[in-house]
Structure 1
Amino acid sequence: MLEEEGKASMPLEFKNPFSGFTQIVTGPHFLGRRQDMIKIAGMLVSPEEDEPLSNIAVVGIHRIGKSSLVKHVLKTYEVDLFVKRRVPVWINLKNHRNSLAFFSHLIDAALKEINKAQYLDTASIERLIAYQPDAASFELLFPGNIKKFFTEVENAGIHLLFILEEFDYARVLFAKDEQGFESLRQLSQECGVNYITLSRRTVKHIELQTMAGSTLDSIFAKHYVTPFNDEDLQQYFGLFAQTPIQITSKMKQQILSYCGGHPYLLGMLGCELVAASYQEQQPAIEQILDRIQTSCDHYFDNVIQRLREDQNINSLFQVIFGPKIDITQKDINELRSYGLIKENAAQKSLLGTKLAPAYICFSESFQAYLDDLGREVKLFPLLGETELTLRTLIKKELQKVYKDLWLEDLKKRYPKDFQTYTNIQAKDQDKGKAGTSDNLLDYTYLGMIFDIIFEKYWPIFRPIFQKDLKNKTYWKQRADLIAEVRNPVMHIRIQNITADVRYRCEEYCQEILQAIEEHTALTEK
């Protein structure tokens, strides 16, 4: 029918080697990662049966290929693991409503996989089942009950490898639950259990976010999954030989510039490019890049959200756009570990000087996305809202202490400044100027507002701002940046402020507004 309508039908031999780019990939369809596989297999497979295994924290940004890598290693060495009686057990933390349900499921899942492996005879299986904790008394006897079970598994000569997917969710599952992390540590150190965690954050970071202390991180070896290296990219471009597309040097450069070595972006672009090739002999790559831009932006939104949650977005902006105000080499190293940035090969040292290395994003598309994000910061209205909210807060809190004399107390502490404000107010009133206010506080500058709150009257405002380790120094640093940015923004010179500073100023304003909002909600209950 399509041919009758003058349209080309899709050939029966149509093949797209990139069609599964959104899925976890193993076996012959798995691409690259030889060095990663060597490292992980060396820790999980190579040790002899009586040798200890490492716990591995596999860390990387969204859709970088963490699950595919681990599953491919386990599938590749499936026979070796079976011979050494090492049993992989996959657990997704997001499937559990609380920590006790999670630990109970560890036992159920372990029994299921042990049965499937058929290592033990019926009597041995029944002995293990006898050690399975009773549901009614599980919480009462926890964690001793699970330790007894897993010790019995170890005595049976079976080594369990728990692959803990979505381990970031541990910050919810074990929130303020020090026993949860401690139980995981004890199972590994006392009962022969090992873990492979898959997460976007390090185990230490996840523990700290739960405020439960940090005890588990020390038993893990970290492995960051980053964008493809040159060897991986060769395999990627080799897949185009199965398609009608002839990849030219120019096309290769365009693909690498746009995607960097990110497997998800490369797969997305490859899939679209190959699909288009069955409709036209040599599709224009520029059109394909334009077609996938929205999908790429959605992916970048996810990456940025995680950075915002972890308060790392400022570091990324400073490294990419400068100036590097309050970041350390540790911050730079972390961003490099995730593969979000790379050294700028075009950055050259000046004659007779030592130039610090400059960095760019892993791809031009992500770099452009960040640049747009920085320009979109809506500082003008946000700064205005912050000023108005702070002035309202000052009047409200000072009235509680000084009643109707609150303004007189301010004038005593700032005699010269408030005399100036009084003169300006009088002139405005005499001339009938628009915007004239009866509230003298409306004539104060932002720097004065911050000085009132974080210096002269700090004891009054301390209950609002000092919590979660955020002291006066913490807030003064933020106040100084906001006050510095205020004038160029209000005078429409925002284009002269770097993307990083714009973004940080926005974040600091929102942080101040949130602190006031939370305090107001508590006091008005």
Structure 2
Amino acid sequence: MQKAPPRNPYVPGRRVTGQMFYGREAELSRLRYLLQDSLHPHHVQIVGEIRSGKSSLIAEFLRRHGDVHVQFVLVPLDLSAHFRIGTAQDFFRQLVEYISQAVESRSEIDEQLREVTRHLLPPAGLPSLQRLHRFFDQLERACLRVLLVLDEFDYSIELFKLDEQAFKYLRHMADNFAPLTLVTSSRRSIFDIECDAGMSSNLAGVMPEHIYVSLLEPDAARLLCREPAQHEGVIWEHDVVELMVTLSGCHPCLIQRLARHLFFEARESPAVERIAMLTHAAPRIFGELFDDMERRLRKFGLWSAIVELVRSGDRFIEHADRDRLERFGYIVVDKDGHYRTFTPLLDHVVNVRADSRMISHVASAVLLKEQDGAFEQPETNPRVGDETTVASEAANPTEQVSTAAVMSPASAIPPARPNLGSVEGGAVVNDAANDRFDVAIVCALRTPELKKVLDTGTTPWRELDSEPDDPATYHGGFYTTLKGTVLRVVAAAPSQMGMPATAVLTAKMVRRFRPKLVAMVGIAAGVSGGGRGFGDILAPDCTFDYGAGKWSSVDNKLHFSPDPNPINIVPVLRSRLKDWELKGERLARIRERWQDQPADTVLRLHVGPLGSGAAVVSAQQPVATVRDHWRKLIGIEMEAYGAHLACQEVCNPPPMFLCMKSVCDFADPEKKDDWQHYAAYTAAQLCQVFLVEEWDRLFPR
């Protein structure tokens, strides 16, 4: 009897729970805290771009935490599925009806509450506020709470035309009925929904807690690629998994679409055939997500305009087209007054669909070599970007060229927004030298500091093209914030340690890349005491040069009069860092992900003055001398003040300066290098996490 083929486990577009749910542990913990572990349950907005897993997050939370059924009367509703389309009054009648049915289904309610519930909804119209108050008062006496989940809340206006009065009615329910906890899920925040509709109902004001669902962490993305197939007895090779992760940009729905296609078409094929199939199918697979959107844009003659926006920015778009795109909701205005698409995912799809050759250059060969976990180009093959190779691919982009060089997954597709390079004639041309970056990261050492920075992010970093008048090497990468903002990040290290070399490099990066924020990331010597341990991150609110001052002779003895000229960081950054001193769960996750043995102390963040000097210190006396003048000193090192001063002096207004350096020793005779790699790792990881979570607050749109 012929064996049945394995079931395709990938289900893009559907809610996933259980063994198909990967990642999102931080979001689940946050949701549990806000709803169950805090003293009073909070109203919560879950915000994320299309198909990013918001509904799955809610479903997995309800599945994983069974005790929520005891604490709450659950009313999980999907506005796109559970409601009949109609007026605002129709919406609220259905909403109250669902709440009534859920409460009545609870066996433990008494007869009085059951009677109130049964008559909550009048024969016509909406229940009065007095009747609603009586209902929720009875719930409170019965020690019951209603957890009302409104998934796909964007449809509140699109399907039901909820006006300002309707939003005020909903706000009154959330603000005045103590036993009611409201959770919404939407692509945009309620504040943005209200603003776009010209409302001033302030529903957003009673829902200050947000959980942003963005891209998966790379490790979770790899699990989502690999594990479902493995449950069905199909093993994806490492090369195939890495290509899927890179092509998808760690977006869960794109991963599922790629994996579903590959599982169906090539589950028994060799790795090279799978890679070729992924390469040629990706544009079509991605395009399925936005078929309706593209059809609508083409119908109104706006497809070329949005392609131009993604590729070249808003300066080449006709004003009329720009206004129409904004009115349709496909583009928004950032804080600098520039237009961008509403989601990085749309940028990703537009790039792929507008030029399918951008992917066909990636993995069209049949020869792969892997060494030390990185893809290597065979020496006998043409160079990536060789004119003959590009010409042959451009002539027939769908033909598999067996002698072409294989690019690494890092080059598989230009990242979502903005690109490090442009495409001209099928070849990737790097034009980043004349463009701006959001963040510039400066390290004092190439190993281990810069190396650990280049391990961060969801996509591999690329070395930027060199400038003939600049010997420095720069690396470009991307971070994606919780709100989906894609940050361009450039990182570099000077040729030697010390303040002069660091100041020069920082000045060059500020002048060339015009970043909004400069981050100094690396290792430092901690000051003993204050609970500081190896790997703890030092984030100075003030940097100073402890070697600056005057030496004089007093009574035939040398006397030093310090003149440190301290520089403070901006108040908003200091305030955020002080808050992060208390966020132990973020630091605990960083410590747990270290692949070697971490320090035996709890990982902490310390905010305070950091001193910079000209020499490596391995004796306690110099530290004690500095500490005499700086009671709250957290550490000493050799570069931060130079970078901070360069930021202040090179341009006006200066970029924001952030420094995160982790403790690798305590500047004593026992100073060793044992903890340098762990310290560089914790500093780089926290810098990324901090920027991802705080960028939109530090630089609001």
Establish whether TM, by shorter chain, passes 0.5. yes
**Match for 2:181: what amino acid?**
N
Distance, in Å, in 2 between the alignment partners of 1:334 and 1:92 is: 32
Aligned to 2:614: none
SS of residue matched to 1:164:
strand
Structure 2 residue 301 is the aligned partner of structure 1 residue 312: no
Aligned to 2:168: 182
Q: Does 1:270 align with 2:265?
A: no
Distance of aligned partners of 1:198 and 1:87 in 2 relative to their CA distance in 1, 3 Å threshold: same
- For residues 340-419 of structure 1, the aligned pairs below 5 Å read 341-344=486-489, 351=505, 352-353=507-508, 354=510, 355-356=513-514
Task: Give the equivalent residue in structure 2 for 1:196.
Answer: 183
Per-residue deviation, 1:320: 1.6
1:257 deviation in Å? Answer: 2.0
| Residue pair 1:171, 1:209 contacting (<8 A) in 2 also | no
Which has the greater radius of gyration? Answer: 1
**Structure 1 pair 277/319, CA: closer, same or farther in 2 (3 Å)?**
closer
2:20 is matched with: 29
Task: Give the alignment partner of residue 336 of structure 1, picking from 477, 481, 490.
Answer: 481
Residues 1:146 and 2:132 are matched in the alignment: yes
Going from structure 1 to structure 2, the CA distance change for 1:256 and 1:340 (only over 3 Å counts) comes to farther
Are the equivalent residues in 2 in contact too, given 1:85–1:157 (CA < 8 A)?
no
Q: Which runs of structure 2 are paired with 1:212-291 in the superposition (5 Å)?
A: 212-220=199-207, 221-239=209-227, 240-242=229-231, 245-282=234-271, 283-291=273-281
Q: Percent identity?
A: 20
For the pair 1:40 / 2:31, whether they are aligned, the reply is yes
1:111 CA displacement: 1.7
- The answer on 1:205 being equivalent to 2:225 is no
CA contact (8 A) 1:58 1:225 kept: yes
Residues 90 and 207 (structure 1), Cα distance of their counterparts in 2 relative to 1, 3 Å cut: same
Q: Structure 2, unaligned stretches of length 5 or more?
A: 298-324, 334-338, 342-346, 348-415, 420-430, 440-477, 495-503, 518-701
Deviation at 1:339, TM superposition (A): 3.1
Which has the larger displacement, 286-295 or 104-113? Answer: 286-295
Corresponding residue for residue 17 of structure 1:
9
Cα gap change, 1:347/1:183 in structure 2, threshold over 3 Å: closer, same or farther? farther
Alignment-mate amino acid for residue 36 of structure 2? V
2: distance between equivalents of 1:71 and 1:337? 20
1:53 to 28, 31, 41: 41
Q: Give the 3 Å change call, closer, same or farther, for CA 43–86 of structure 1 in structure 2.
A: farther
3-state DSSP of counterpart to 1:31: coil
Q: Is the 8 A contact 1:88 1:160 kept in 2?
A: yes
Compared CA separation, residues 357 and 284, structure 1 to 2 (3 A):
farther
Q: Are 1:84 and 2:75 an aligned pair?
A: no
Q: Return the structure number with greater strand share.
A: 2
1:171–1:207 contact (8 Å) kept in structure 2: no
Q: Is the CA contact (8 Å cut-off) linking 2:149 and 2:183 kept in structure 1?
A: yes
Q: How many residues align?
A: 340
Aligned to 2:613: none
AA at the equivalent of 2:486: I
Aligned to 2:93: 104
How far apart, CA to CA, are the structure 1 residues paired with 2:249 and 2:122?
52
Partner Cα separation in structure 1 for residue 160 and residue 233 of structure 2: 52
Distance change in 2, residues 1:347/1:325 (3 Å) = closer
SS at match of 2:26: helix
How does 1:352-501 map onto structure 2 within 5 Å? 352-353=507-508, 354=510, 355-356=513-514
Matching residue of 2:118: 129
Q: Give the partner amino acid of 1:267.
A: Q
Q: Cα–Cα, structure 1 residues 68 and 126, in superposed 2: closer, same or farther, change >3 Å? A: same
Structure 1 pair 286/341, CA: closer, same or farther in 2 (3 Å)? farther
Query: Is the 8 Å Cα contact of residues 89 and 160 (structure 1) preserved in structure 2?
Result: no
Work out which structure has the larger RCO, using CA pairs closer than 8 Å and 6 or more positions apart in sequence: 1
Q: Which range is displaced more, 244-253 or 199-208?
A: 244-253
Runs of 5+ consecutive residues of structure 1 not aligned to the other structure: 4-8, 360-525
User: Helix, strand or coil for the counterpart of 2:16?
Assistant: coil
How far apart, in 2, do the equivalents of 1:187 and 1:251 lie? Answer: 50
Q: How does the TM-score come out when normalised to structure 1?
A: 0.56
SS in 2 for 1:57: strand
Q: TM-score, normalised by structure 2?
A: 0.43
| RMSD (Å) for aligned C-alpha atoms | 3.8
SS of residue in 2 equivalent to 1:45: helix
Q: Is the 2:215–2:251 contact (alpha carbons within 8 Å) kept by the matching residues of 1?
A: yes
